[in-house]
Amino acid sequence: MNFFNTYKKQILYLVIALLVVIIFFTAGKKSRATPVDNLLGFIITPAQNISTSVSSWFSNKISSFKDETDIEAENEELKAKVELLEAENKRLSMFEEENRRLSALLDISQKYPDYETTGANIIAKDPGNWYFTFNINKGTKDGLLPNMVLTDAGGLVGRITECGYIYSKVEAIIDSRSSVSAMSLRTGDLGVVKGDYTLMNDGLCRMEYIDAESEIMKGDEIVTSHLSDIFPPGITIGYVKEVITDENGLTKYAVIEPSVDFKHLTTLLVITDSFSGADSDTSDQNTQPAGDTQ
């Protein structure tokens, strides 16, 4: 016992050396593991499994982190590209819209070749969905005067009521203060198209003082008449939506649906020719049927 205690290190080294020699000489020459192999396997295999698992875990984590980093970088790159494409698309849409507006203005000016015209953009409006009154970006600096008439691709929009140096205020035909001498293009029957408090919030107006014997009917096109001091004749105002006979039975009135979209006005055409009403306080009431007021 004293011998073992004295030489236990040397004995352990010797045993290990013998096991190594045995493994060396028996490696590749046996098909079945020896007891020594099994003993070593019992000791080493769990450690190898743990080592392999830990190594695999770290490898997966590193790979996953790298993939996430790559994906984030790719996402940021794609987001930047999408933002650039969206900005480019908006820019092209603005150009397309501007081109559409200019084309529309050209079409309008070709409808009225006998008149001098200039384009104008709306820069402000009263609260609400409808363009009852609004401001445009041209004024006396550009030669504009009160009572000059505005149109768009649909037809008559209204008239200028006040001019500043670089802006003008406009009153639309659906505003309750508006009054326009008008006629049925089909029948020639005369009347006055006015804005109406009960109709203006629906974007409609009414044609009053229609003779009871007139043949105006639903669907007729209503245009400015030759009796107006302000509005050139023949400009489309809208179409008859409904014809109603007054209680007295002597006159009719018609509900008119304007041909202009008064919810989506942008660029307009101002007819700058001087008419008798321009730059004065006269109104269509001078040539309207009796009882009409502007």
* HEC readout, the chain: CHHHHHCHHHHHHHHHHHHHHHHHHHCCCCCCCCHHHHHHHHHHHHHHHHHHHHHHHHHHHHHHHHHHHHHHHHHHHHHHHHHHHHHHHHHHHHHHHHHHHHHHHHHHHHHCCCCCEEEEEEEEECCCCCCCEEEECCCHHHCCCCCCEEECCCCEEEEEEEECCCCEEEEECCCCCCEEEEEECCCCCEEEEECCHHHHCCCCEEEEEEECCCCCCCCCEEEECCCCCCCCCCCEEEEEEEEEECCCCCEEEEEEEECCCCCCCCEEEEECCCCCCCCCCCCHHHCCCCCCCC
pTM equals 0.63
Mean of pLDDT over the chain = 80
Sign of CA dihedral 191, 147, 119, 262: negative
The model's confidence at residue 239, banded by pLDDT at 50, 70 and 90, is very high
Mean pLDDT of 266-284: 67
pLDDT band of residue 41 (cuts 50, 70, 90) is low
pLDDT band, very low/low/confident/very high, at 251 (cuts 50, 70, 90): confident
Q: For the residues 166-192, what does the mean pLDDT come to?
A: 96
Q: How confident is the model over 148-158, as a mean pLDDT?
A: 93
**Sorting pLDDT into bands at 50, 70 and 90, what band is 72?**
confident
Compute the average pLDDT of residues 52-75.
74
Q: Residue 106: name the closest of 291, 260, 267, 259 by CA.
A: 267
Q: Please tell me the distance from the alpha carbon of residue 267 to that of residue 102, in angstroms, as a whole number.
A: 8
Looking at residue 145, its pLDDT comes to 95
- Model confidence at 4, pLDDT cuts 50, 70, 90, reads low
The most confident of the ranges 13-17, 265-269, 278-282 is 265-269
CB burial class (10 A; 0-12, 13-18, 19+) of residue 264? exposed
pLDDT for residue 153: 84
Cα 138 to Cα 82: distance, rounded to the nearest angstrom: 38
Considering only CA atoms, which of 45, 44, 42, 39 is closest in space to residue 22? 39
